[in-house]
Amino acid sequence: MINIGWIGCGRHARQMLLPQLGRNGIRIAALCDRDPEMLSRTAAEYGVAALHSDFRDLIATPGLDAIGMAVGPELHRAATIAALEKGLPVFMEKPPAATAEGAREVAAAAEKAGKPVIVGFMKRYSTGNRIAKNVLDDGSFGPVLGITGAYMTAPTYFEGEPDYTGFYLHHCVHYMDLIPWFAGGDFGDMTVRSISPAPGRLLLHLNFTTGAGVIGNVVMGTVQSRGTPMEEIRIMGDHARIHVDNIIDVALYRDPPFKAEDPGATLDPACDTLSWRPNFTAAANEDHKGYAALLADAAAVLRGGARPVPDIGDGVRAMERLERMVAQIGI
């Protein structure tokens, strides 16, 4: 077991992240939240005695091996830099900072400390997205030609907001990481179009190229109910196409013959469509959203191992793409 000091006992940490730590060999040794109610409830759930309202006091707790956090953009930057200055590796939720410049400061601090900073881009670990990426990487799909991705959310959090900072930082940042990850390269040219039918309601289309010539379109917005499927990925190759719907429905289309005039028509594993969807009745890890898989890798890295986790370099690039996108929206 290693000892972690955790900052932020809010909804996301308590529901999705903290339950993953013990099963991955991490003991919660100290907790921090400025809300005494959230702090004491979480402390009771995990039997933690070292409690702090200030993140600096938490980081100073003797005997810690790592720091974890799910708080918010500016505190992610400040607390991660403070942890690195103490020589501690960090897992942080996204976004890594409120600005790309802030993320670059974290990257510089990580470089100086020689310690890893893992950023919670769990979309890479969502089961359907992982299957799609592994198919792309195994060589049979051929070059990616185009990608369309849609990431929608509801106006709930943004109702009446004159700016969409929260939407950009907490939501759009996911696809500023995921789509270039699928494309295998950074955005080159980028054009953004947007409409806003009412305050808090925004729909934007971002089209892009990459250095390798991939073309694509990312659709994001706050104009759908969160009670509906929110995500959709389409990856186009030459006579090959992967669909990932709502991260759990995967289909790989290839180059099958017509069937209607073939009396012997059958399903050929070499060319007909392959599909996957999870069995939610399995009494096993069913976190297809990716938090469990991300935190298993993060725990290994915090213990000194090597895993291909999204890190602060990925965080910097996602924030830089986000700022390029926002600069074109102009709302």
Ligand X SMILES: NC(=O)c1ccc[n+]([C@@H]2O[C@H](COP(=O)([O-])OP(=O)(O)OC[C@H]3O[C@@H](n4cnc5c(N)ncnc54)[C@H](O)[C@@H]3O)[C@@H](O)[C@H]2O)c1
* CA 55 – CA 61 distance, rounded (Å): 10
Tell whether residue 13 is a contact of ligand X (CB under 6 A): yes
| Residue from the set 19, 72, 146, 229 that interacts with ligand X by CB under 6 A | 72
Site stretch for ligand X (CB under 6 A), options 7-15, 133-141, 184-192, 238-246: 7-15
Tell whether residue 231 is a contact of ligand X (CB under 6 A): no
When the beta carbons of 11 and 307 are compared against ligand X, the nearer one is 11
> Residue 179's closest CA among 212, 215, 225, 227?
215
Helix, strand, or coil (residue 65): coil
| Residue from the set 75, 83, 218, 326 that interacts with ligand X by CB under 6 A | 75
Tell whether residue 184 is a contact of ligand X (CB under 6 A): no
* CA 303 – CA 4 distance, rounded (Å): 11
Q: Work out the number of other CB atoms within 10 angstroms of the CB of residue 217.
A: 16
When the beta carbons of 32 and 202 are compared against ligand X, the nearer one is 32
Q: Work out the number of other CB atoms within 10 angstroms of the CB of residue 14.
A: 17
When computed from its CA atoms, the radius of gyration of the chain, rounded to whole angstroms, is 21
For residue 5, the minimal CB distance to ligand X (Å) is: 12
| Residue from the set 2, 3, 12, 196 that interacts with ligand X by CB under 6 A | 12
Total chain residues near ligand X (CB under 6 A): 22
Determine what percent of the chain falls in helix, strand and coil, rounding each to the nearest 5: 35, 25, 40
Helix (H) / strand (E) containing 129: helix 127-137
Per-residue binding letters, 20-49, with ligand X (x by CB under 6 A): ------------xxxx--x-----------
| Residue whose Cβ sits closest to ligand X | 10
Taking the mean position of all CA atoms in its chain, how far away is CA 25? Answer: 22
Applying CB under 6 A, which residues contact ligand X?
7-13, 32-35, 38, 55, 70-72, 75, 93-94, 120, 122, 170
